[in-house]
Amino acid sequence: MPGEKKHKEKKKKEHAQQGLPEHLEKQRKYVICGPDKNYYTSTETAASEYLSLGVDNAWDFGAFAAGLSIKVNRMSEESMEFDLIGADPAVANALRRILISEVPTVAIEHVFIVNNTSIIQDEVLAHRLGLVPLNVDPALLEPKGAEDAASERNTVVLRLRVACRRESDGAVVNDVVKSGAFEWLHHGSDLPEETKCRFTDPAGQKAAFEGRPKPGAVDKGILLAKLRPGQEIELEAHCIKGTGREHAKWSPVATAWYRLCPEVALLREVEGEEAAELAAEADAVFGVGQGGKLFVRDVRTPAAERQLERVRRLLEQPRWREAIEFRKRKDHFIFTIESTGALRPEVLFKQALAILADKAERLEKRL
Amino acid sequence: MAEQQPGPSGAETYTGTTFAIEDEDHTLANSLRFFLNKNPNVAFCGYSIPHPTEHVVNLRVQTTGEVTAAAAVRSACADLKQVCAHVGGVFDAAVAEFKARPAE
């Protein structure tokens, strides 16, 4: 019918001006948490998703740039947490994956054991050494390919030489070997014939590491082995650059993760007895204000976050289901990076961005 | 890294192409899929990793005919780079703002 069509056209125009209807906007923006499962968990990315409503969902860098915001919540040498608002899960997840497996670090790769009379077997000790985080800036080394000769450009050599003995007064010295016992051999391997690691520059790596911490473990207190009097360990550990994709020991993060920002909203006014009941159930989330009216507190406090699952359980009851809503913003990521200590977390995130851009760059060039 | 499927000459005019991207995984493919889906000139886009031990992703792109598939992927790459650069700038500003904040 022509009249109906006209009506539809008019409606379409209205939407184009006002955006999506309320219920669709909510589904686009939030994951709605039900008592047993979450609803509307997917993100609607197709450009034509809302075309029938006259709403354009195509990529718009201007709108993305205007909507993006980042706020650092806490930051230290080793870990940071920040809010990433206005990004898409595809990009946030790419960054998380890169942080875990593609940002390079330096770790022990070859262990040459000269002597090991301790109770811990050579191969177990070698594996254990590989997992120790090192304070070597990966930018100072070139990656070492399988065919490359070890040299000052791609290898850092550490020595571990500890012998346990009993003093005349009965005290046992060196009965625990900790990661602080690594000595840096800046002139390269002491056993070049056996290790095939030869530094050509007689000055070794001194100049390259000038003004930087002496290469060794980030944490000096990691227990590597225990010895009894008469036992000793003597070995050389050769460290090279790698990524977590090959082995987790090269992962620069203990872990990196994100979660969506939780929100609790009131769907109608709640007051009186109902309000008191909810406030008693989850006092860090709900409060009762003037006139007995229920209000929602800041749910990002640790106390409130602990009670959020309790709020979810309240939704089992239909009477609360129509009064309160527990939901998560789909484009608000609370991103946490825990570094192993080799690089600061904010440096890691910047490197992850550079690696992602580089992937796109390389593909673009090849097409 | 990226190869178009073998075919007759004139591959640059293809509007439907499967790109086999070597040494890449979900990290790049899913990001590209997002930007390709956001492109009104792309009718279909999806990717798959045929086998977990083979380091390759197959990215399928079919356009509506206005642009070639390769051009659509190139523009997705450009979008991704632009986003990375912008996020980097905003992140730097946020870190600077945090450092300037008085300690509690």
Domains of chain A: 2-58 (no CATH), 105-250 (2.170.120.12)
Which positions in chain B touch A56 (Cβ < 8 Å)? 40
Mark out the alpha helices in B11-68 (DSSP H runs).
26-37
- Residue A50: closest CA among A19, A8, A90: A19
User: Which residues fall within 8 angstroms of residue B79, CB to CB, at 6 or more apart?
Assistant: A59, A61, B35, B38
Domain count, chain B: 1
The C-alpha of A93 sits at a distance from chain B's nearest C-alpha, in angstroms, of 7
* Eight-class DSSP state of A291: G
A6 φ, ψ (degrees, to nearest 5): -60, -45
Predicted pLDDT of residue B8: 46
Residue type, A342: A
Q: Is A215 left (phi over 0), alpha (psi -120 to 50) or beta?
A: beta
CATH of the domain at B48: 3.30.1360.10
| Contact: B28, A94; criterion CB under 8 Å | yes
pLDDT digits (tens, 9 = 90+) for A183-207: 999 999 999 999 999 998 878 888 8
Tokens of B38: 């956001």
Q: Which residue has the tokens 């590989």?
A: A130
Which domain covers residue B8, as residue numbers?
Answer: 3-100
User: In the prediction, which pLDDT does B1 show?
Assistant: 47
Q: Distance from B68 to chain A by nearest Cα, in Å?
A: 11
Q: Would you write out chain A's pLDDT as a tens digit for each of its 367 residues?
A: 455 555 656 555 555 556 889 999 999 999 999 999 999 999 988 888 898 888 889 999 999 999 999 999 999 999 999 999 999 999 999 999 999 999 999 999 999 999 999 999 999 999 999 999 999 999 999 999 988 999 999 999 999 999 999 999 999 999 999 999 999 999 999 999 999 999 988 788 888 898 999 999 999 999 999 999 999 999 999 999 999 999 999 999 999 999 999 999 999 999 999 999 999 999 999 999 988 899 999 999 999 999 999 999 999 999 999 999 999 999 999 999 999 999 999 999 999 999 999 999 999 998 8
pLDDT in tens, B39-50: 999 999 999 999
Angle made by CA atoms B72, B78, B82, in degrees to the nearest 5: 145
d(CA A12, CA A71): 37
Largest CA distance in chain A: 107
- In A220-261, which ranges are continuous DSSP H helix? none
User: Cβ-count burial of A169 within 10 angstroms (0-12 exposed, 13-18 middle, 19+ buried)?
Assistant: exposed
Instruction: Find tokens 């109902």 and name the residue.
Output: A274
Distance from CA of A159 to the nearest CA of B (A): 35
CB atoms within 10 A of CB B55: 13
Residues of chain A whose beta carbon is less than 8 angstroms from a beta carbon of chain B are: 45-48, 56-59, 61, 64-65, 68-72, 75, 82, 84, 87-88, 90-91, 93-94, 97-98, 102, 346, 349-350, 353-354, 356-357, 359-364, 366-367
